[in-house]
Amino acid sequence: MVTAQPALTAYVVRADALTPEEREAVVELGKGDVTVHPILTRLVWSTPNWRVMLRRGDEIVSGLMLVEREIRVGDRRVKVAGVGDVGTLPQWRRRGYAGLVLERAAAFMRAELDADFGHLFCVSSLVPYYGRFGWLRVEGPSHIQAPWGPAIFPEETMVLPLRGTTWPPGEMDLKGLPW
């Protein structure tokens, strides 16, 4: 007898409208095991505007956050959707769930947020992973606001072209906290 698999549903919700269950899931998804640069533990992070969540039946198994922002790259202003907190519960990893969340986020960034690019930071070991979904590594530096003042983000920067345009050259200024 074949057992039916629970349905997978990727959806977007305003971050300020999360249910208690969704808020609890965000905390659990954030308990990743990626080794990060020590400075990252001292940063303050942007408040998300949106959350993309993936349900497997009744359980939220993967998700990410989105921050809408206009940043400066070189001498240009660029509308981005900053992607952060990409995570999948440990028992559900290596099943393509984070990829489904990234794809749903890309569609939302393009259609609903009218962003020019998705923008994320990651450790160098994850560059090939995000590259499989069309994300491109770009040269920094990326200037951010930290509790002690202006700082340069120490990890890799990647962008996802959403409008067929090329990422402009130059230093990036996130004009605020990182995501």
Q: With the C-alpha atoms ordered 102, 158, 136, 165, is the resulting torsion angle positive or negative? A: positive
146 has which bridge partners? 149
Q: What is the pLDDT of residue 131?
A: 97
Give the H/E segment covering residue 24: helix 20-29
Cβ-proximal residues to 100 (8 Å cutoff; 6+ apart), any chain: 8, 10, 54, 62
Q: State pTM to two decimals.
A: 0.92
Q: What is the pLDDT of residue 39?
A: 73
The span from the CA of 28 to the CA of 8, in Å, is 19
Q: What is the DSSP letter of 75?
A: T
Each residue's pLDDT, cut to its tens digit, for the chain (179 residues) gives 777 788 999 999 999 999 999 999 999 988 766 556 677 778 899 999 999 999 999 999 999 999 999 999 999 999 999 999 999 999 999 999 999 999 999 999 999 999 999 999 999 999 999 999 999 999 989 999 999 999 999 999 999 999 989 999 999 999 999 99
Cβ-proximal residues to 106 (8 Å cutoff; 6+ apart), any chain: 118, 133, 134, 160, 162
Give the H/E segment covering residue 108: helix 97-111
Q: What is the pLDDT of residue 33?
A: 61
Give the H/E segment covering residue 27: helix 20-29
Q: What angle do CA 138, 79, 121 make, to 5 degrees?
A: 35
Cβ-proximal residues to 166 (8 Å cutoff; 6+ apart), any chain: none
